[in-house]
A = this chain, B = another copy of it.
Amino acid sequence: MKIGICGLGTVGGGTVNVMTRNSAEIAARCGRSVEIVQVGARRDNPDCDTSNINVSREIFDVANNPDVDVLVELIGGTTVARELVLTAIANGKHVVTANKALIAEHGNELFAAAAAKGVTIAYEAAVAGGIPIIKSLREGLAGNRIEWLAGIINGTGNYILTEMREKGRSFEEALSQAQALGYAEADPTFDVEGIDAAHKLVIMASLAFGMPLAFDKVFTEGISGVAKDDIQYADELGYRIKHLGIARRTGEGVELRVHPTLIPERRLIANVNGVMNAVLVNGDAVGPTLYYGAGAGAEATASAVIADIVDVARTLNVRPDQRVPLAGVTQESQGDLDEVLSMDDAETSYYMRISAFDKPGVMSKVATICSEQGISIEALIQHEPAEGEELVPVVLLTSRAREAQLQEAVSQIEALDTIQGPVVRIRVEPLG
């Protein structure tokens, strides 16, 4: 099988290096040799030896090269990458990609084009780097009705939250540290505001629930508002704060949301620290399963790219219906985009931190407001006011309720004259 690789950055270089180093293992696993016949890249990668490979400075050469069976798209972005992949498909080539934004935003279109042409698009590397989570959702758990999944799927954000907890750093300090180490970009929006996680979440949800990719419908809240005090109070209550992507099937539809989340410290996923990723998947038959590993990095991502290449190699000439369906289920059986619920209809518990004047009756008013919204208070810690300080930090955990009710309670609490400033609220998930 002959492959062409477009893009020779971190992942492209890693892919060429690992394929070269492990060529004997890879051939043994797929039962045929896999040869890189062309690389399309605007510039060379000093960490990668391409002296024996035909390198073109024009990536579309690869998509139009009649010798190439499989185009491996590692250029990133969604504009040129989309055109490149559509060109490869039009030319009857299979595609392997690590591009989460491309799949999340244009996957429905690309899958339809691939299906019409009878070729496949493989995208294991688009989610959680080297962790084989796409394969697990799509094949390994195929006997299950997936009920929910929750993932730490952005290593930058997890690194920042881990530093804040372990070293008592503020968000800004931890972010600077992440930038100094190369874990975060100069403009960190994409990672810390949850856009990257939302891309990965919709890809996993589409496979778990057999629905189209619904990137526009994901609720996204970043971690820039998480204070180190909240991480410490969460600890006192037996919780860790993680930035989770959560997809959950309810009687009414599908929840798709990315937000900071308190999770019980006894859960394995609460102990996934640093830049590592993990995804917890709950199936009706298998119960909870967890997949953990490096979510980024040249060779970890290359591991997923190559697993896809091996899969494509094995099924190069089979009938399309003998391959794993692109979106996990056959196109006829896909659910509807209308299935995605508004965030108002999502159900969670809340962690709230309230700055209250130290006067009698404050907590009773808060409890009454919650109760009127059908919410009960399950834990409450009132801290001592700081020296010379009138305001007392009060931390509480609520019962599970609809988001709209919780928001209404927060608005009413904020309107109390015995409360100062906004109520800090972070969603809580038991993941049990």
Contact = CB atoms under 8 A, between A and B. Distances in A.
Interface string A13-52: 0100011011011111111100000000000000000000
A256 interface: no
Select the residue from A130, A305, A318, A330 with max chain B CB neighbours within 10 A.
A130
A258 B144 CA distance: 31
Contact of A318 (B26, B129, B268, B318): B318
A315 B278 CA distance: 30
Interface in A269-291: 271-272, 278, 283-291
22 contacts: A14-B285, A18-B144, A22-B145, A25-B142, A26-B143, A28-B330, A29-B210, A29-B328, A32-B321, A130-B141, A130-B289, A131-B286, A136-B136, A136-B140, A139-B311, A143-B303, A143-B304, A285-B302, A285-B306, A286-B304, A287-B299, A290-B291
A395 interface: no
A278 B304 CA distance: 21
A81 interface: no
A290 B287 contact: no
B302 A143 contact: yes
Interface residues of A, number: 72
A317 to B, nearest CB: 7
Contact of A22 (B129, B285, B324): B285
Contacts of A297: 287
Contacts of A131: 286, 289
A364 interface: no
Interface in A103-161: 124, 129-132, 135-136, 138-145
Q: Which of A135, A291, A316, A323 has the most CB of B within 10 A?
A: A291
B310 A142 contact: yes
